[in-house]
Amino acid sequence: MNSPRTVSFRIASEKVAELDLIAKAMDRDRSYLLNEAVESYLSEQQRFIAMVEEGLEDMRSGRYFTDEEVGRMVDEWEHEAQNKVR
């Protein structure tokens, strides 16, 4: 593990107060919550980037649906849903 570094940034005082309330309820400190939040954010962004790259590769390989095909699929789903309600 890399050695921790100090990072500072501006944040609304109301958000700091909310962080402190949550930290107290969890018996953790603010730094712990911020590290967890950053870890979660980075993970989600990496997942999003991977999904975009996968989609771009699918498009380059011809694996995609046209607008018309998607429209027909939605119409079919709506028709099936209406039939289930009856």
Domain ranges across the chain: 13-85
What confidence tens digit (pLDDT) does each residue in 12-71 have?
999 999 999 999 999 999 999 999 999 999 999 999 999 999 999 999 999 999 999 999
Q: What is the pTM (predicted TM-score) of this model? A: 0.72
Q: What is the DSSP-derived secondary structure letter of residue 20?
A: H
Residue 1 reports pLDDT greater than 70 = no
| DSSP code per residue over 26-66 | HT--HHHHHHHHHHHHHHHHHHHHHHHHHHHHHHHTT----
Exposure of 7 in the CB half-sphere (CA atoms within 13 A): 9
Residue 73 reports pLDDT greater than 70 = yes
Residue 86 reports pLDDT greater than 80 = no
